[in-house]
Amino acid sequence: MSDWWQVARIEDIPPGSVARVEADDVPMAVVNLGGELYALANLCTHMEAELHEGELDPDGELECPVHGARFDVRTGEALTPPAFEALETYPVQVADGLVYVRPDPDD
């Protein structure tokens, strides 16, 4: 797992939660949506607010805590204004109870 970074233990990110992590100086939000993990850029594309502080709904939408823009955690797609740019998404995997992300998805 040379290009994968260990960022958390699975029990640190229970279903319905969002955790702020960092891998290779890249701030990310790791979301546990019903047991599936997703990693995306932690900064809103509108005003760079930290998304891990926002609200996650059961449908997989993460709301920016500042201006209310909503993003699909599965794809990073911006769903509502004032954000129009999608968030970067990152590969996630779990091995032996540890959560790993790959900050450069092209590796």
Residue 94 confidence class, pLDDT cut points 50, 70, 90: very high
Mean pLDDT across 25-40: 96
Predicted pLDDT at 104 = 81
* Prediction pTM value: 0.92
Whether residue 9 contacts residue 21, with contact meaning beta carbons closer than 8 Å, is answered with: no
Burial (0-12, 13-18, 19+ Cβ within 10 Å), 59: exposed
CATH 2.60.200.30 fits 5-101, yes or no: no
* HSE-CB of 52 using CA atoms within 13 angstroms: 17
DSSP 12-73: GS-TT-EEEEEETTEEEEEEEETTEEEEEESB-TTT--BGGGSEE-TTSEEE-TTT--EEET
Percent share of the chain, pLDDT over 90: 92
Express each pLDDT in 10-22 by its tens digit.
999 999 999 999 9
Mean pLDDT across 33-47: 96
Express each pLDDT in 56-90 by its tens digit.
999 999 999 999 999 999 999 999 999 999 999 99
Predicted pLDDT at 48 = 85
Q: Which residues contact 1 (CB under 8 A, 6 or more apart)?
A: 95, 100
Indicate the pairing of strand 61-63 with strand 55-56. antiparallel
Predicted pLDDT at 93 = 97
What are the sequence ranges of the domains in the chain? 5-101
Averaged pLDDT of the chain: 94
